[in-house]
């Protein structure tokens, strides 16, 4: 595996976009929990957030991992594939296992699941992962089967195959009884077909940049976001009227959302524009927030439930547990025997570079998320 030379836009923009997605995914969990406890009430704004904006966030990671995979690495032989997969096995499976084990323990303690047992652990690691680490299992499969792009023809073919699988899945899910039918597919197959298009789309974007097409060519961020908002409102209305199925609506909004977000973040953080102080502060911890907030919230609501704290205290505690506690734990893990490796192994791995000299993988695919 040879490292590519950085070209075109600085990669800061995609790390910042992944960080934003991490924060919004945690906010989605907070909002859902507060709605379930009648602290927040359903309405048009919440409906727009839940059905239009929130579904775009997880695809950001598939898109970003694909972009950085194509941008920074070249896998062009059987040997380089083995080296690459050796790294990705560690990078994906370590956080998968590190989050799964305590999550199963928490589920057993709170009564939300069967707890930690060999059968439950095996199922969670290989068959039905816990939220949110199923992403790593699917991403690992995509790294295994999708080669890096070496020509425009290969890029077009790869994206076309991924798009065809996505369309077939959306059509199947939109048919009567389709959701139940596709639910029987293995987890990796189902989610690989659903998200492979975003991974391959990120790769194609990086390949286009390598050919000299900058992110600014995607269009005006203001116009793109305006068009996305209009489309979201229209599709939300059409979905309520039964004119558009939910899977098709989500696919269309995700495509437009990734396009608009790429144009915006690419323009804000392109080469030479520097980094914002906010992202400098949070980029190193958003992966911890993304991965650890669900189990911390489960413990918080289990402990806070019988006490019925006042609403302001419940809201403040929920936000602190979703954001502050993962950051604190992440900082402690980084300083205590380098246990941060369990959450973000990319900070600690070293792999052969072009000259055979090992180098740290900071800046590799997904390291900032």
Mean pLDDT by 10 residues, the chain (369 residues): 48 93 96 90 90 96 94 80 86 94 94 90 92 94 93 95 97 91 93 97 93 87 97 96 94 97 91 80 89 95 84 94 95 87 79 38 40
> What's the distance, CA 139 to chain centroid?
10
Q: What is the pLDDT of residue 272?
A: 65
- Look at the pTM and tell me if it is higher than 0.85: yes
Give the sign of the dihedral formed by CA 326, CA 327, CA 328, CA 332: positive
Interatomic CA distance for residues 197 and 66, integer angstroms: 10
3-state secondary structure of 254: helix
Which has the closest alpha carbon to 229: 56, 1, 12, 22? Answer: 56
Q: What is the pLDDT of residue 293?
A: 95
Which letter does DSSP use for residue 341 in this model? G
Q: What is the pLDDT of residue 9?
A: 54
Q: What is the pLDDT of residue 304?
A: 87
């Amino acid at each position: 595996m040879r490292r590519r030379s950085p070209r075109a836009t600085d990669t800061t923009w995609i790390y910042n976009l992944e960080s934003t997605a991490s924060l919004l995914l945690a906010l989605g969990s907070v909002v859902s929990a507060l709605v379930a406890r009648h602290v927040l009430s359903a309405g048009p704004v919440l409906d727009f957030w839940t059905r239009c904006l929130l579904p775009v966030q997880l695809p950001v990671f598939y898109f970003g991992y694909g972009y950085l995979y194509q941008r920074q690495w070249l896998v062009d032989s059987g040997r380089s594939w083995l080296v690459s997969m050796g790294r990705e096995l560690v990078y994906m499976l370590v956080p998968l296992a590190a989050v799964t084990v305590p999550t199963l323990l928490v589920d057993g303690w709170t009564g939300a699941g069967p707890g930690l047992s060999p059968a439950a652990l095996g199922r969670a690691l290989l068959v039905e992962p816990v939220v949110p680490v199923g992403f790593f299992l699917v991403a690992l499969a995509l790294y295994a089967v999708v080669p890096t792009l070496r020509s425009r023809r290969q890029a077009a073919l790869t994206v076309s195959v991924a798009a065809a699988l996505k369309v077939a899945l959306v059509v199947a899910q939109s048919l009567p009884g389709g959701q139940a039918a596709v639910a029987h597919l293995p987890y990796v197959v189902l989610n690989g077909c659903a998200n492979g298009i975003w991974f391959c789309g990120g790769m194609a974007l990086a390949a286009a940049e390598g050919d000299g097409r900058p992110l600014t060519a995607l269009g005006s961020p203001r116009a793109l976001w305006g068009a996305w908002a209009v489309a979201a409102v229209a599709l939300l209305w059409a979905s309520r009227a039964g004119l558009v199925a939910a899977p098709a609506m989500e696919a269309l909004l995700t495509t437009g959302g990734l396009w608009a977000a790429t144009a915006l973040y690419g323009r804000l953080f392109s080469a030479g524009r520097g980094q914002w102080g906010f992202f400098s502060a949070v980029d190193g911890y958003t992966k911890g927030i993304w991965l650890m907030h669900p189990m911390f919230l489960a413990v918080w609501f289990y402990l806070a439930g019988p006490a019925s704290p006042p609403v302001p205290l419940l809201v403040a505690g929920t936000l602190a547990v979703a954001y502050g506690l993962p950051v604190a734990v992440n900082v402690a893990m980084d300083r205590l025997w380098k246990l941060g490796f369990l959450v973000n192994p990319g900070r600690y791995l070293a792999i052969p570079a072009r000259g055979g000299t090992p180098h740290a993988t900071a800046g590799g695919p997904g390291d900032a998320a």
